Structure 1
């Protein structure tokens, strides 16, 4: 029998506004999060942890974080988060005082042990700026945290992608010191994935010799404009999130990332009839 997998759900870019307010006068991000929470709660098997990879709120204000808390209250899975460029560290620390932050002040870095995995959240927030950087305190902490083991697989989460996507107006606001992160990832091969947000699109590449992804959003998607044809724009596309599933096996284990759509869809339907024949 296959060993039980460890499942980390990643949701990103919630952009919660004050009650009744729409993002960009168009998108009801609160309703989008409600649907996302319902989808997470319905998963079987249920994830072991939900990671929110930034932009939890939109403006930000304490009222938005209060609204976010109310929307997350029905979630039946433990969750942690890291700030994005739309967040504020002090407000977020006050809204989620029970999270085990690595520093008494400054970056809201976190590490969580989940079964055989080390889940590591890196704060790339730069106050007042859309782009990201990892401060020296974060880089030093990450190096030490990864250095605490050579065996345990580690999953890294942050808001700003440390790579280009080809969407120019987003690429200028990615992680500006990605080379510093790359040096640490290469030093510690137990890192199995670098998972980001920010771009509201499912994206896959490699970074510093390991898998790297961007998580889609539960609300709206950044326009896939690879030729700078249009001004910075968004589309309302099918919402989704990522499931990072760790399977232990004789080769040391392997990680698979699934994209999960949010919404009501037809099925599931059997492939085979009662007689065992393909329908």
Structure 2
């Protein structure tokens, strides 16, 4: 099984952008999306904030491009995606589900929604009781299979910046207690904080991925012969950084992140799901 995972993409309509900025935007996002979709995989996955403000034209640009590629694609909602429209309207445009499971022979994949709806003042995460109960039930029935959870917000006090204000699912929501329902080999993928970070804690591996505009790259997740291998793949295009610098500071509410790459141990991981862990 192979999964290709994208961090916060932040495609922006840039309503007040100059012609030069819009041209650079188009070139940069088309390049990043093209490289992401070049790879063959069972699934291509977005960890949320696929768009910058959640406008219909932003969603349609990305999903039209992905649909034309024919790649199987799953998007979990991010707080930027839910700024402008109710979630029901977003899901109508994208054809996606708010949360769901894919139970494969080799692993269980769980896609969850940690976002608030149309709330520009609070970009932190939440989980309603019904979804928490669903998640707990999925973990309890997963058996010996590895579980891969894909969410936008990290669990509090796991990956880098997850203890910052609004940097995680609200700490009052006892996510770690829910995750303990999985006895071994759980992998939790998230974005939101725009910094690569990998942390092992309480039997889980928490894998946070930086924003594409700060660190143009994606992750490849391979599960084969009893091993999970997570690789960090930079996008190799010598013009990309120049295009990004022409418009990213002009996106309202977007601030470039310092040191988004993290340490070397935040970029790759190998886990023997039959035995032990190595970095």
Q: TM-score scaled by structure 2?
A: 0.72
Distance 1:30 1:194, change over 3 A: farther
CA deviation string 1:199-252 (max 9, x = no partner): 2221111243211111123222xxxxxxxxxxxxxxxxx41111111123xxxx
Aligned pair partner of 1:257 in 227, 230, 239: 230
Counterpart-to-counterpart distance in 2, 1:168 and 1:196: 11
Q: Does 2:154 correspond to 1:161?
A: yes
Residue aligning to 1:143: 136
Q: Does 2:158 correspond to 1:181?
A: no
Residue aligning to 1:93: 91
1:148: Cα distance to partner?
2.4
1:195: Cα distance to partner?
0.7
Matches within 5 A, 1:201-216: 201-216=195-210
1:41: Cα distance to partner?
3.5
CA deviation string 1:146-176 (max 9, x = no partner): 2223022210111011144554895543211
Residue aligning to 2:60: 66
Residue 73 of structure 1 aligns to a residue whose secondary structure is helix
1:191: Cα distance to partner?
4.6
Aligned pair partner of 1:82 in 76, 81, 89: 76
Counterpart-to-counterpart distance in 2, 1:19 and 1:203: 29
Matches within 5 A, 1:128-139: 128=119, 129-139=122-132
Counterpart-to-counterpart distance in 2, 1:178 and 1:243: 32
Aligned pair partner of 1:57 in 44, 51, 56: 51
- Judge conservation of contact 1:244–1:255 (CA < 8 Å) in 2: yes
- Judge conservation of contact 2:5–2:46 (CA < 8 Å) in 1: yes
* Aligned-residue CA RMSD (Å): 2.8
Q: TM-score scaled by structure 1?
A: 0.72
- Judge conservation of contact 1:15–1:29 (CA < 8 Å) in 2: no
The farther-off stretch of 164-173 and 83-92 is: 164-173
Counterpart-to-counterpart distance in 1, 2:202 and 2:219: 21
- Judge conservation of contact 1:39–1:262 (CA < 8 Å) in 2: yes
1:260: Cα distance to partner?
0.6
- Judge conservation of contact 2:114–2:126 (CA < 8 Å) in 1: yes
Q: Which runs of 5+ in 1 are unaligned?
A: 1-5, 102-107, 221-237, 266-279
Residue aligning to 2:101: 111
Aligned pair partner of 2:7 in 3, 9, 12: 12
Counterpart-to-counterpart distance in 2, 1:90 and 1:30: 28
Counterpart-to-counterpart distance in 1, 2:25 and 2:202: 34
Counterpart-to-counterpart distance in 2, 1:83 and 1:26: 27
Q: Does 2:113 correspond to 1:123?
A: yes
Aligned pair partner of 1:241 in 218, 225, 228: 218
Distance 1:160 1:8, change over 3 A: same
Structure 1 residue ranges (4+ consecutive) displaced by more than 4 angstroms after TM superposition: 19-22, 25-30, 164-171
Aligned pair partner of 2:29 in 13, 33, 36: 33
Distance 1:167 1:243, change over 3 A: same
Distance 1:168 1:179, change over 3 A: closer
The structure with the larger Rg is 1
- Judge conservation of contact 1:163–1:207 (CA < 8 Å) in 2: no
